[in-house]
Amino acid sequence: MKPSRHADVSIKKPKAHDDRVVLGLHKFRSIGKSKAYLYATIFDALQDAWRAGVKFDESHVEAICSYIIGSYTWRIDGALNEIIRLEIKDRLEKMIK
């Protein structure tokens, strides 16, 4: 059994705005856009996990999952932070009106 290396697992390259979302520099204008970004990011993570599962056998599942989770956690956290920010903004605007 050949050990798997992280370099053998393909992770989709981050798009230009992914880095800005992770750093909190990209602000979405609507909750719908931020949710769409979140769903697309989760879908990319699941696709990468599926491809890695097809490529390797069951003995490397934990290592592959850890690597994929580590690669996508910051993107998902950034999207969730944006959704929370927009929800708070909308609620404050409703209270002010």
pLDDT at 1: 44
Average pLDDT, the chain: 79
Profile the chain (97 residues) by mean pLDDT over runs of 10 residues. Answer: 54 72 78 90 85 71 77 88 91 87
Residue 7 lies in a domain: no
Residue 74 in any domain: the answer is yes
Task: Answer whether residue 3 is part of any domain.
Answer: no
> Domain range holding 69?
25-96
**Is residue 29, in this structure, part of any structural domain at all?**
yes
Cβ–Cβ under 8 Å, residues 31 and 83: yes
CA distances from 37 to 18, 21, 22, 40, 41 (A): 9, 10, 12, 5, 6
Task: Report yes or no on 49 lying in a domain.
Answer: yes
- Whether 5 is covered by a domain: the verdict is no
Q: Would you say residue 92 lies in a domain? A: yes
Span 81-95, pLDDT tens digits: 989 999 998 999 888
Environment class of residue 41 by beta-carbon count within 10 Å: exposed (0-12), middle (13-18) or buried (19+)? buried
How many domains in the chain? 1
